[in-house]
Each structure stands twice: as C-alpha cells, then as structure tokens.
Amino acid sequence: MAAWFETVADAQRRARKRLPPSVYSALVAGSEKGVTVSDNTAAFAELGFAPHVAGLSGKRDMATTVMGQAISLPVLISPTGVQAVHPDGEVAVARAAAARGTAIGLSSFASKPIEEVTAANPATFFQMYWTGGRDKLLARMERARSAGAVGLIITTDWSFSNGRDWGSPAIPERMDLKAMMRFAPEGIRRPRWLLEFAKTGRVPDLTAPNLADGGAAPTFFGAYGEWMQTPLPTWEDIAWLREQWGGPFMLKGVMRVDDARRAVDAGVTAISVSNHGGNNLDGTPAPIRALPAIAEAVGDDVEIVLDGGIRRGSDVVKAVALGARAVMIGRAYLWGLAAGGQAGVENVLDILRGGIDSALLGLGLSSIQELEATSVIVPPAFRRDLGG
C-alpha cells in the first residue's frame, strides 16, 4: 500500500519527484503562455452538481462501447508519444488498460512496436499523423491492421506552435554518448528512475519504431521533420484514409461545429473533441467548453469522446453528461506510469472509476447512460460555440 496513491494529483507529485526535470517538463509543457493548458483543467471546476440525499441507487453501471469495443468504464488511454518515463512504456500501459477493461490508443511516435502493444491489449487503436504521404500512410495502416489494431485514430492538430514562455523541454535527438553525458547530472539526481532503466540494460528509446517503414526507426525529430515537409491533409484526404481503413475510424482534434459536421460527412466513426492537451494553438478554449455545441450538432450522427484536462472521476461524469460517450486521458496515466509502472496506471484508472461511482451515487443514477445535460450545473457564458 505504500506505493498506492489516492488522487491523480498525488501521482503527478510522485512523478515529479521520480523523473529527471527534462522528462517531467515534457509531460506538463504546453505551447506559448499555457493559457489552453490551464483552461483544460480549470473549466471542469466551473461545472457543478446538485446531489440527492435519499433514494439513491445501490448499483452503478459504467460500461459503454467506443468504436465497437466494449469497455468497463468510459475512460480510454489517449495516444501519447515516446514514453521515456518508464522502461516498459506503452506495453505497461496496454497491460494496465486490459486489466481494467478498457482500450488503448497507441501513438505513431510510441517507443514500443505496435505488435508488442496489441499482444498486451487486443483493444488497441492505432493513431496516425498525416506524415510522409499516402504510400507511407497506407503501409503503416496495413502494418497496424496485420498487428491486430481494431481501430484507427487520425490526428491532424499536431503542435504547430512549439514556443513556450518557460522554455521548451530539452529532448535530445538520440540517446548517444554525448546526450548521456549531457543529461547525466539529471539522471544522478533521480537514481530510482535511472536504476529502472539500468536493470533492463537499455537507455530511454527516443525513436519511433512504428514509423520505421521497413528500415531504421526515425528519431522523434526526424519524424517531426517528415511531418513538416508533408502537405497538410484536406477533408478529401480524411475521407480517403477512412475508406482505405474500412473499420472504426476516429478523427482527433475537433473543436468546431463546422469541422464536426465535415467529419460526419467524411464518414468517420468517432471524433475526439480535443486541443492536443494545450500543445497546439494557445488560446484555444478547453474541450469541455466546446463539447455541448458539438454534441448538439452531431451527437446523433457520430460517437464523441473528449480529450483534455481529465483529472478526476467527476470530470468524466461532467463530460459524459454534456455529450461525450467517453473520455481519453493522457498526462494522468503518464504520471501513473512514472510513479509506479503498470500498477501506477491501474491505480489511476481505479481512482477515476471510484470518482465516477461516487458522482453517479450522489446524482442518484444507476448508469452513466442516464447522464444528461441537466445532471450538471453549467454557469452562464461557460460554453464556447465555435464554428456554429
């Protein structure tokens, strides 16, 4: 029990103590001033509940489905790149998600091959950026299909702005001798983190094996350079890729009603209302503010998930009440992974499950399916109806 933590905030504190400063700053960083990063979490605090005191339900059902996958709670693992916070990286996360009955989104920039992740959790959605052109996209898609991925996520809102007022986190091109010498003082100050990698005989892997394309895996910055040189996708490109995949397909990064409608027209299965965790255009509002208008516009036509700022089970309940089928978490599970590996990620999912249960109990509901907009108190001027 000494390794157990009771809140996501506690997991974050432990992660900060355990990780080298450069690694930790990469987890919390947002673009420019960080207005969007802050609003992602602050917006949830503006929403309230009006609980009942008697006649409460003795049982609460949290199960739902997203892109054809049955999950035991409305929380999915969001794809995040290069998880150097723990040697087992995405494989540990996949195992934790499977143990808690949910699905994982695997980033193209993951540090573990998709074959290892799908072996750990068959409910794996493979996430792709529009990078490298159609031939490379098809090859990566087919590799994911062969590996057993059950859905595809396309992310088009990658970081267009990499300036940060507090400085961008230091990420080496590769962990060669020069980089190890440079970062040695940080590692020595975090001996437990260093020991975890030392036991494996490996240094943190900063390459992207799922972008190897039959050759050597590119570095993070090599892959970023490829993205910078690839023409940005059109709506016709999105529809084309969706058709090539032919299965469950999510478009991640939707913040506007008009974009949501275009996504429906393109035939996607799901959209993620997301601002890339505050790592794109600073000043973009929190996804929970944009969710109600999008849900009202297309909620009957497409599955909606929300990604951004989830730290508590009550946040999940608020998102579902305002129109999301489920949420995806990013920083929360990475802090759990840093704090305790697979068990730490399971711990985070358990915290969220407990918070969802408590909120449903207080609201007098027996299922997340009973949540609706009237389940939460939405103050005036909370919403941001973008592109309507």
Pairing of strands 151-155, 104-106: unpaired
Structure tokens at 104: 């994982």
Task: Please report where in the chains the tokens 């794996």 appear, as a residue.
Answer: 124
Measured distance CA(176)–CA(160) in Å, rounded = 28
Taking the CA atoms of 59, 100, 23 and 199 in sequence, report the sign of the dihedral they define.
Answer: positive
For the chain, report the end-to-end CA distance as a whole number of angstroms. Answer: 50
C-alpha distances in angstroms, 171 versus 3, 176, 195, 206, 223?
A: 29, 12, 20, 9, 14
Q: 333 with 311: CB under 8 angstroms? A: no
State the DSSP string of 127-192: EEES-S-HHHHHHHHHHHHHHT--EEEEE----S---BTT------SS--HHHHHHHHHHHHH-HH
Task: Tell me the C-alpha distance between 36 and 270, whole Å.
Answer: 23
Instruction: Provide the H-helix boundaries in 46-99.
Output: 89-99
Low-confidence ranges of the chain (pLDDT < 50): none
> Which residue blocks in 273-384 are alpha helix, DSSP H?
287-298, 313-321, 331-363
Could you tell me whether strands 69-71 and 64-66 are parallel, antiparallel, or unpaired per DSSP bridges? Answer: antiparallel
Q: What is the spatial distance between Cα 54 and Cα 75, in angstroms, rounded to a whole number?
A: 28
Q: What is the CATH number of domain 6-375?
A: 3.20.20.70
The CA distance from 341 to 201, in Å, is: 17
In this structure, what token pair is assigned to residue 75?
A: 């929380």
Residue 225: predicted pLDDT:
80
Distance set, CA 99 to CA 89, 131, 271 (Å): 16, 33, 26
AA letter at 308: G
Q: What's the pTM value of the predicted model, to 2 decimals?
A: 0.94
Q: Binding site annotation covers 81?
A: yes
Q: Is 80 annotated as a binding residue?
A: yes
329 is in an annotated binding site: no
- CA distances in angstroms from 169 to 22, 71, 81, 164, listed in the order given: 6, 35, 14, 9
Amino acid residing at 334: L
CA distances from 142 to 110, 126, 197, 222, 224 (A): 17, 11, 32, 22, 22
Which of 112, 276, 312, 353 is labelled catalytic?
276
- Dihedral of alpha carbons 271, 269, 147, 342, sign: positive
Asked if residue 52 belongs to a known ligand binding site, the reply is no
To the query of whether residue 276 is one of the catalytic residues in this protein, the response is yes
Please tell me whether 100 is known to bind a ligand: no
